[in-house]
Structure 1
Amino acid sequence: MKFDLHTHHDRCGHAEGTIRDYIDSAVAQGLQVIGISDHSPYFAEPEEQPWPGIAMAKSEFARYVSEVLKLKEEYRGRIEVLLGVESDFFPEHIDTYAKIYEQYPFDYVIGSVHKSDGISIFNKNRWKHMKDAEKLRQKELYYDLIRQSAQSGLFQILGHIDAMKAYYPEFSGIQTAAIEETLRIIGQNKMAIEINTSGKMKDCGGWYPANDILERAHHYGVSVTFGSDAHVPGRVGDEFEEVKRLLKSIGYKEWVFFRQKQRIAVEL
């Protein structure tokens, strides 16, 4: 069974193509399940759309849900379309996001940390002139946020859990016990992490998370799922089979997707 739970579309302002384009791409590539999971609006901000090139406007959210649900019915029998969303995690605003999400029939919510210490994790300049002690502190702050997201109860999946390395590959070499503790907490809370193949598009190359993190995740009983994080339709399902082979080599027997927030196990 082939599935992809992490896809975007043009509403977020930095992806190409419509939701239908991503579903059609999934059908063409033989997927049985496609999840639509565009970036949630910044619900805690006073503006309608404070950063148009990053996330959709608040007024678009209900229309987004309606469009996915309509397409779910239209494609029934050809491919299963799942309603998801990629949610930013801001611990101080968790209740605001939870109250909004509970109004809609999401199959799953991906929790992703995109900002740490108030700065985008993809900001290439954050590491300039930074001493080693501060680099360590920044990494530990980032993983503290991921631990909090795992304990929040809002998410089924945690997105790209080492994506801070995207434009700073040296991030992976910063040694800290924070990763081990984070994986332990994720396992305790029965969360799934995604293998996200979009890292290949960044300076770091490869996938999120790195293989050594996946090996430790397996040790802690962390469930895994697949997400291309496609921002163009042609990347739907990108490197699915390669990820599957890697997981088997690590010792995983299954991976999961979510329907109506219920975990569905798929044999590798």
Structure 2
Amino acid sequence: MKFDLHTHHERCGHADGMIRAYIEAAIQGGLDVIGISDHSPYFYSSVDRLHPGIAMAKSEFPRYVAEVLELKREYEGRIDVLLGVESDFFPEHAELYREEYKKYPFDYIIGSVHQSGGVSIFNKRRWNGLNDKQKIAAKEEYYDLIQQSARSGMFHILGHIDAMKGFFPAFSAIPTPKVDETLKVIAECGVSIEVNTSGGTKDVGGWYPSDDILERAHHYGVDITFGSDSHKPSRIGEDFDKVRQKLKEIGYREWVYYKEKQQRRVAL
């Protein structure tokens, strides 16, 4: 069985193509399941569209849901279209986001930390001038947020859990026990992590998370799913077979996807 749970489209302001184009690409790629999971609006803001190049407007969110549900019905029997969302995680606004998501019939919600210390995790300038101790503190703050997101109960999947390395590859070598601690928390909370193949579009190359983290995730009993994090239709299902083979080598025998908020286990 072939699936991809992490995809975007033009509403977020930094992806190409309409939702239908991603579904058609999934069919052409032989996928059985395609999850649509565009970026959540900034619900906490009084502005309808706080950052137009990052996420959709609040007023667009109901239309996004309606379009996915309509396409789900249209493509029934050809491919299973799932309604998802990639949600930012801001601890101070968690309850607001939780209440917004209760309004809609999501199949799953991906929780992703995109800001740490008030700065984008992809901002390479955030590392300028930091000494080793400060770099460790920055990495631990990021993983503290991921732990909080796991404990929040809001999410089925945690997105790209080492994406801070995207434009700063040295991130992976910053020493801290916080990564293992976080994997233990994720396992205890019963949340999955994704293998996200969009790292290949960043300076770091490769996938999120690293093979080393995947090996430790297996050790701690963390469930795994797959997402290309496609921002253009041509990346749907990218490296799916390679990821599946790597997970088998690590020792995984199955991975998961979510439908109607229920985890479904699939043999690798």
Identify whether the pair has TM-score above 0.5, normalized to the shorter chain.
Answer: yes
Match of 1:74 in 2: 74
How much has 1:75 moved relative to structure 2? 0.1
C-alpha distance in 2, partners of 1:107/1:221? 23
1:8-31, Cα deviation, whole Å (9 max, x unpaired): 000000000000000000000100
C-alpha distance in 2, partners of 1:118/1:241? 36
C-alpha distance in 2, partners of 1:66/1:46? 23
Does residue 265 of the first structure (1) align with residue 256 of the second (2)?
A: no
Match of 2:94 in 1: 94
C-alpha distance in 1, partners of 2:99/2:191? 21
Match of 1:63 in 2: 63
C-alpha distance in 1, partners of 2:30/2:204? 29
How much has 1:43 moved relative to structure 2? 0.2
How much has 1:89 moved relative to structure 2? 0.2
SS of the equivalent of 2:85 reads strand
C-alpha distance in 1, partners of 2:178/2:44? 28
Match of 1:3 in 2: 3
C-alpha distance in 2, partners of 1:176/1:130? 16
C-alpha distance in 1, partners of 2:22/2:228? 11
C-alpha distance in 1, partners of 2:127/2:100? 35
How much has 1:235 moved relative to structure 2? 0.2
Matches for 1:201-212 after TM superposition, within 5 Å = 201-212=201-212
C-alpha distance in 1, partners of 2:48/2:63? 15
How much has 1:117 moved relative to structure 2? 0.3
How much has 1:129 moved relative to structure 2? 1.1
Match of 1:247 in 2: 247
Match of 2:167 in 1: 167
The one-letter code matched in structure 2 to 1:179 is V
1:51-108, Cα deviation, whole Å (9 max, x unpaired): 0000000000000000000000000000000000000000000000000000000000
SS of the equivalent of 2:146 reads helix
Match of 1:17 in 2: 17
How much has 1:126 moved relative to structure 2? 0.4
The one-letter code matched in structure 2 to 1:4 is D
Match of 1:225 in 2: 225
Match of 2:200 in 1: 200
Aligned residues: 268
Match of 2:133 in 1: 133
The one-letter code matched in structure 1 to 2:254 is E
How much has 1:210 moved relative to structure 2? 0.2
Unpaired runs of 5+ residues, structure 1, are none
Normalised by the size of structure 2, how large is the TM-score?
1.00
C-alpha distance in 2, partners of 1:91/1:215? 29
SS of the equivalent of 2:153 reads coil
How much has 1:46 moved relative to structure 2? 1.3
Percent sequence identity over matched residues?
63
The one-letter code matched in structure 2 to 1:22 is Y
How much has 1:47 moved relative to structure 2? 0.7
C-alpha distance in 2, partners of 1:136/1:109? 29
Match of 1:48 in 2: 48
Runs of 4+ more than 4 Å apart? none
The one-letter code matched in structure 1 to 2:31 is L
The one-letter code matched in structure 1 to 2:226 is F
C-alpha distance in 1, partners of 2:250/2:44? 40
Unpaired runs of 5+ residues, structure 2, are none
C-alpha distance in 2, partners of 1:260/1:165? 32
